[in-house]
Amino acid sequence: MNVGVLVSGQGTNLQALLDAEARGELAPATIAVVISSKPGVPALERATKAGRPAEAIDHKRFGSRELFEARLLEVLAAHQVEAIVLAGFMRLLSPHFVAQFPARIINTHPSLLPAFPGADAAAQAIAHGVKVSGVTIHFVDDSLDNGPIIAQAAVPVLPGDDARALHARIQLEEHRLLPRVVQSLAAGQLSCQGRTVMGGRAE
């Protein structure tokens, strides 16, 4: 399965995928292209260093989300992408875009959804005084951080934690869990709302 990874920033989750692929732990998934919604971000450098095609599609240069997503779809099609991983991608995808990859877009989010969706999840957890946070990997639908959950891992909130310290520990779990989920998706071992995802397509 050819996988496209969409990013917007540092690319630490992308690096976890690249490292897993280098170890032979991502097959039958292959990272076919990395696309950033922002130019000049470290994630693009990570992809290039790993020998993966990398392209910036600056969302600010398009007059609408529809035009931005049309360009995204062009690049994904050019690389024969069958599934998408959102790895720190900071744009909400439209229903039209999501419909092009049914049960084949996954996202990683630094909280135990449905708690603390959206930005700054670790800061939200600290502000609410919870004792446990974590990471959620889920299928993407047309709402914010609300698709069917694939996998979760709990991370304790320790005394004295601030948002940065908590987020760093959550990232360790993200980096462990995300490659496993991508490998399972490519191997047809996941299901979405009762439909098994076989070869990247929901049956």
CATH code at position 55: 3.40.50.170
**pLDDT higher than threshold 70 for residue 198:** no
Identify whether the C-beta of residue 83 lies closer than 8 Å to the C-beta of residue 101: yes
Burial pattern 128-138, b for ≥16 Cβ within 10 A else e, equals eebeebbbbbb
Domain that holds residue 45: 2-202
The pair of structure tokens assigned to 171 is: 């990232």
**pLDDT higher than threshold 60 for residue 4:** yes
Q: In terms of DSSP bridges, do strands 195-198 and 190-192 run parallel, antiparallel, or are they unpaired?
A: antiparallel
Q: How big is the CA angle at 8 (ends 3 and 10), to the nearest 5 degrees?
A: 95
Give the total number of structural domains in the chain: 1
CB-side neighbour CA atoms (13 Å) of 94: 11
The torsion angles phi and psi of 177, rounded to 5 degrees, stand at -85, -40
Coil vs helix vs strand at 94? coil
Q: Would you place residue 197 in the very low, low, confident or very high pLDDT band (cuts 50, 70, 90)?
A: very low
Active-site residue identified among 79, 109, 167, 175: 109
**pLDDT higher than threshold 90 for residue 26:** yes
* pLDDT tens digits, 119-174: 899 999 999 999 999 999 999 987 777 889 999 999 999 999 999 999 999 999 99
Cβ burial, residue 54 (10 Å; 0-12/13-18/19+): buried
* pLDDT tens digits, 168-187: 999 999 999 999 999 999 99
Integer-rounded Cα Rg, in Å, for the chain is 16
Active site residue 109: yes
Beta bridge partners of 31: 3
Cβ burial, residue 191 (10 Å; 0-12/13-18/19+): middle
Report how far apart, in Å, the C-alpha atoms of 105 and of each of 49, 141, 156 are: 25, 8, 28
